[in-house]
Amino acid sequence: MTSTGSEQRAHRSYDDAPAHVVEFYRENHREQTFEVASAKAAHFKALALREMSAWDALLELDELVDESDPDTELGQLDHALQTAEAARAASAPEWLIVTALIHDLGKVLCTFGEPMWAVVGDTFPVGCAFREEVVFHELFSENPDTHDERYSSVTGVYELGCGLDAVTMSWGHDEYLASVLADQLPEEALYVIRYHSFYAAHTHGAYRELFNERDHALMPWVRRFQAFDLYSKLPDAPERDALLPVYRELLQRWLPAPLAW
């Protein structure tokens, strides 16, 4: 799926974002501290909440609308189908089409009672200085970590070139799903899932001082995927009757067994 330059620039335009999007990011940027993100990761990565298949998780997202997204009002099942169709139209490798279909499954956290600020939105490292490349960066003034000298430098609690695996990210659906699917998909797929909301890095080039060789090698896959994720957000819902059987069969091949959530 292709878009003109003017169409692309219309996406992720926050200058005239709806009030609910601004308020989402106010809460997200206030609450996502190093301590909070670390605690949530430790709790949810235990994967002791539920057992269900990837297909059932996808259906759980049917009516979930992402409050952080200014580009679509469709539920996440429709968004998943649009993204997968964009990857398929571009003749992406099958693992990347599967990734496109399931990339947001971690949003089932909302069905477990998690607030939106701890599930969706752009992700960013915590434990080091917040960067201006993160959307609504000015709202970090309300985050306690902004005023904590341990986290005020460019690298904060990390070492230069430590690699993103060693970095604590703001908690959300990306980190969660990457844990659920550990060892289930190729390394490239898990990397895309974990960092697809890290726009400050994959689109704006921030936080490169934390990258290692692995990050430099794999981040191009995130950039390739991002085009499918972002520019497939059409206002009309996809043709479910035609697409759901196709993608159910695809998931049955790649992720047939129940998963621990």
Please report whether residue 261 resides in a domain.
no
Query: CA angle 71-75-79, nearest 5°?
Result: 65
Residue 98: inside a domain: yes
Q: What is the pLDDT of residues 176-187, one digit of tens each?
A: 999 999 999 999
SS3 221: helix
CA atoms of 218 and 230, how far apart (whole Å): 19
Which position has the token pair 């219309």? 10
Give the range of the structural domain holding residue 83, as residue numbers without chain letter.
Answer: 17-65+73-255
pTM of the shown model: 0.91
Classify residue 86: in a domain, yes or no: yes
State the CATH number of the domain containing residue 112: 1.10.3210
Cα–Cα distance for residue pair 251/183, rounded to 1 Å: 16
Collapse the DSSP code of 260 into the 3-class scheme (helix H, G, I; strand E, B; otherwise coil) and give the result: strand
pLDDT at 231 (0 to 100): 53
Task: Confirm if 93 and 47 have CB atoms less than 8 A apart.
Answer: no
| Assigned domain for 87 exists | yes
In a domain, 27, yes or no: yes
Which stretches of the chain drop beneath a pLDDT of 70? 1-13, 69-73, 231-235
* Phi/psi at 19 (5° precision): -60, -35
Query: What was the pLDDT predicted at 235?
Result: 64
Is position 59 within any domain? yes
Closest-CA residue to 168 (of 3, 59, 45, 5)? 45
Asked if residue 169 belongs to a domain, the reply is yes
DSSP designation for 196: T
- Is the residue at 90 inside a domain? yes
pLDDT at 251: 97
Residues in a beta bridge with 259: 52
**Domain total in the chain:** 1
